[in-house]
Amino acid sequence: MASLGKFKRKSLTTVTAVRLDLDTEGFVYRKWGGSQRCKGGDWIVNSSGETYTVDAESFALTYRQLSPGVYVKDAPVWAERAEVAGEIPTKEGRSAYQAGDILVFNDAERRDGYAMSAERFALLYEPADS
């Protein structure tokens, strides 16, 4: 793996999100090469046309509401380029990635991670100030 770097979400990259605030056990869906699980209280997020879910605790720690239904990820992330293909465990399931994709973590200890293409990462993130 390449070395871990600290990044922040670029300006004007908001998401639309709705909390699954219902008496439910959630649901299972397929995305990123694996089964993902949304639990009651988790968030259904649309980011530039891509829809996925985010664990309730992760969402609370990393997103801030701008207006009803509109949020911005304002917590930093740590990321590194994958040198080989593989899978990463997420709070929702497992996600497959290819060599060259970016592994993104919500903390510097490489916990609460997920993967995305290098192109998508470049659209959404920029290096954080030290």
pLDDT in tens, 94-121: 999 999 999 999 999 998 999 999 999 9
**What are the residues whose beta carbons fall under 8 Å from the beta carbon of 9, sequence distance 6 or more?**
72, 73, 74, 77, 124, 125
29 contacts 44 by C-beta, under 8 angstroms:
no
Res. 4: pLDDT tops 90: no
What is the structure's pLDDT at 114? 94
What is the structure's pLDDT at 1? 46
Res. 12: pLDDT tops 90: no
105 contacts 53 by C-beta, under 8 angstroms:
no
What is the structure's pLDDT at 2? 60
pTM of this structure: 0.85
The torsion region of residue 69 among left (phi > 0), alpha (psi -120 to 50) and beta comes to left
Q: pLDDT tens for residues 16-71?
A: 999 999 999 999 999 988 899 999 999 999 998 999 999 999 999 999 999 999 99
Res. 130: pLDDT tops 70: no
What is the structure's pLDDT at 3? 77
Res. 128: pLDDT tops 70: yes
